Structure 1
Amino acid sequence: MNTFLINTVILLALVVTLGYLNEKVTRFPDEIALMMFSIVIGGVLVISGIAFQGTESAMKFLSGLKYFDLEKFLMEGVLCFMLFAGSCHMRLLDFKTHARTISLLAVAATFLGAVFYGLLFYGAGKLIGLSMTLPVCLMFGSIVAPTDPIAATSILKKFNLPSGISFIMEGESLLNDGVGVALFVFFSGMVTAQKSGGFFQVMAKELLGAVLVGIFVTTVCFYIFRHTKDEARQIFASLLAVSLSYLLCENFEFSGAIASVVCGVLFSALRNYREFKGEALSLEQFDNFWSVLDTLLNSVLYVMLGLSFIHILQMPHVLVLSLAAILANLIGRAGSLGISVLFTGPLPDGYDKISFIKLLTWGGLRGGLSVALAMSAGSMVDENTCNIIMGGTYAIVFFTTVIQGMTMPRVYQNIQKGIGKKG
């Protein structure tokens, strides 16, 4: 029987059923609900597996249901489309108003966050006896540094965040995906430099090659996108651009993730430039398609993460490692924001710098990109180190999505009360 179709049916059934249950009963943000319910289901499956140990058919079914190929789903399937969807919606005409703040957060704060996290986790590793080098810890920092645009946007819209602050948070999340991928290539180049012939050679090949491929393919495909009057063909052209860029990069051993982000940013820039020049572009179907596709892929991803989460708990010293990863993430995020906002100038909507740091620290949710980068690190490090990176990444994604996501409204209300008293 077709395994792919079976897995697709199971995942879609979980996405639809759990989403409907959440809509009618619990009413959490969808990402939180899908992950929480899937973790519960994963736990039930483990208990059921123990109960049905003597039944071979039951064990085979439960094993197949628990071990979806998450790495293949991301790295060989949907990662390029998720990255493109996250970066193709930015309206550069609106971006201009907050360009300085968003650029500082997306570039400087992401870089500093990766470095701070790497240093903190390196120190924590020394204390608890982990054999992780500083370059590996910095690579780990780049994995968890970029925030997730879908989760952040979905949760923020639930409590009517002021437009200026909301746009800054969404803009940072959309742009720092590409920065995070570039940092991952940068620091992973340090880790693999001895095997690959040198750090700068790795950087030039992975980063520059991906950018050139993304620019070339997008330029060709956007010509069709611009001149066709068929809205479906516009969508097909964008799908061709990102998938072809990713495929070429995989073939030439460039970074397909960076090429996908380049495609998305270029599509956004070119379409906004044409609109600025007064050229009418009918893009309602295009925007709706990529919005729905992004939501679907992220929903499936959160279900898969939830089902896989139970296996992370079986790692040795998982609680200590998870606590160290979560604390390092919070401290690193707050520290990177604290330095970056010194150079942002006045903030919108009456926010002072301290309130802004608090909101963005707790609102810095992590998602699918971090998991994908963690998985791709597996080929660069030994099995034990890979397990540590995967466990820490899972812990951060779970904590930021579920714990921070669920408490975000209360944190926001407290910050707003503080701003009101100062005003």
Structure 2
Amino acid sequence: MATYQIISIIVMLAAMFAYINDRWIKWPPTIGIMVLALFSSILIVILGNLMPAFSANALGLVSHINFGQLLIKFMLSFLLFAGAIHIDAVKLRKEFWPVMTLATVGTFMSTFLISVMSYYLFHVFQLQIPYIHCLLFGALISPTDPIAVMAILKKAGIPQTLELKIMGESLFNDGIGVVIFLTILEVASNGTGNFSASGTIVLFLKEACGGMLFGALMGYAAYLLLRSIDNYRVEVLITLALVTCGYTLADELHLSAPLAIIVTGIMVGTRGRTIAISSTSWDYLGKFWDLIDEIFNAILFLLIGLEMLIIKIHPTIMIIGGIMIFIVLLARWFSVSLPVAVLRFKIKFEKNAVTILTWGGLRGGLSVAMALSLPQNMHRDGFVLITYIIVIFSIIVQGLTIGKVAEKLK
């Protein structure tokens, strides 16, 4: 099937499911689209027994989509930038320590806790999975994605400072999570016998710090360009070029492209909105990236639902996946509550912040994409199924109840 045909079908399905959800179901758009895609996948599997040709065509469509590459190499840059330009660096500076501590220390803690608990859980089920591979799983499942619940949390009336903590942590722990995952993947690929602690730390720092520095340079260059003109059409094109070329260049330089785009987006959003861009141009620019965010998230959650068609089902792994839901939630609670307990000595946190940060820490498409990018010899099929179970539970159960939880706590 040709690429343009695949794109046409995906966009058509996203639009159709978005209409059905908005017209009748009225759930948050991303959750509604994903659930409809999930039920469609189940229906296709059932109809496959009656109409094998129809099922084969659907499977062919989904199997032609490299979900991991599509998200990590292309869609992620747009989603991160669209979120980052709405974060005010001045306000973020006031929440710097909570955001960065949760995004770094919290992500490391979550990765370690999940890897240890999953290692012993696998052994209970007689699955001899090396610890380094469990560490990979911990890294890929730790980043959170609040896209599906931010609108719900805003309606629930959570404090703006807590909203900023959730958004800031999610953006940065996506970037940090990818760096941790790629660093561990390189160690696992080269063999633990060749492991060097100093070399691994240097690699991590190069990716993370180098990516943020590169993003700051791109953001400043974009600010100079945007300040020199007042034409929203050109300004939109500049930001598009910034996202596509900047992300690709950072990746080619072996720097963290997600972190680079996050820093770039925050700089463009803060300095651009206040200094470089007129109010009219900012109105167009902001609405353009809001629309990009909505479209790409609709497509992303559609693909998450359709991926069920090609995931290999195994009863034992499904049981492990169900248990892993509670392990991931427990690790999330620890990785939030411990840093918050330490930071409370210096920083004031909102009431019930730990509960909302824990239950609102949804797992999303990035975790699925990283699981799909694993080589087969690193238990890819099992990790993909477990990740998929956790993500589906996270988005549907946590996503649809976080608003009520926030309102009751308030």
Q: How would you bin the TM-score normalised by the shorter chain?
A: 0.7 to 0.9
Measure the CA separation in 2 of the matches of 1:263 and 1:298: 17
Aligned counterpart, 2:58 = 62
Distance 1:62 1:176, change over 3 A: closer
**Matched positions, count:** 401
Measure the CA separation in 2 of the matches of 1:341 and 1:331: 15
Question: Does residue 398 of structure 1 match 2:392?
Answer: yes
Aligned counterpart, 1:121 = 118
Measure the CA separation in 1 of the matches of 2:213 and 2:95: 28
Which residue, 260, 267, 289 being the options, matches 1:262?
Answer: 260
- Give the partner amino acid of 1:412: A
Aligned counterpart, 1:287 = 286
Q: For 1:296-351, what per-residue CA distance to the aligned partner results, in whole angstroms no more than 9, with x for missing partners?
A: 111101111101124436235232221232122111001111201112325455x1
Aligned counterpart, 2:35 = 36
Aligned counterpart, 1:139 = 136
Where does structure 2 lack aligned partners over 5 or more consecutive residues?
A: none
Measure the CA separation in 1 of the matches of 2:334 and 2:269: 36
Distance 1:171 1:264, change over 3 A: closer
Contact 1:90 1:174 in 2 (8 A): no
Aligned counterpart, 2:242 = 241
| Cα distance, 1:221 vs structure 2 | 4.0
Which residue, 152, 155, 158 being the options, matches 1:161?
Answer: 158
Contact 2:251 2:257 in 1 (8 A): no
| Cα distance, 1:210 vs structure 2 | 4.4
* SS of the residue 2:128 aligns to: coil
Q: For 1:372-396, what per-residue CA distance to the aligned partner results, in whole angstroms no more than 9, with x for missing partners?
A: 22233x14xx346111221222112
| Cα distance, 1:168 vs structure 2 | 2.1
When the two structures are superposed, what TM-score results if normalisation uses the length of structure 2?
0.87
Aligned counterpart, 1:419 = none
* Aligned residues: CA RMSD: 2.7
Distance 1:21 1:159, change over 3 A: farther
| Cα distance, 1:27 vs structure 2 | 1.4
- Give the partner amino acid of 1:402: I
Distance 1:130 1:158, change over 3 A: farther
Contact 1:189 1:202 in 2 (8 A): no
Identity, % of aligned pairs? 25
| Cα distance, 1:5 vs structure 2 | 2.6
* SS of the residue 1:317 aligns to: helix
Structure 1 runs, 4 residues or longer, greater than 6 Å off: none
Aligned counterpart, 1:5 = 4
- Give the partner amino acid of 1:88: I
- Give the partner amino acid of 1:30: P
Aligned residue runs from structure 1 range 399-414, under 5 A: 399-414=393-408
- Give the partner amino acid of 1:414: K
Where does structure 1 lack aligned partners over 5 or more consecutive residues?
A: 417-423
When the two structures are superposed, what TM-score results if normalisation uses the length of structure 1?
0.85
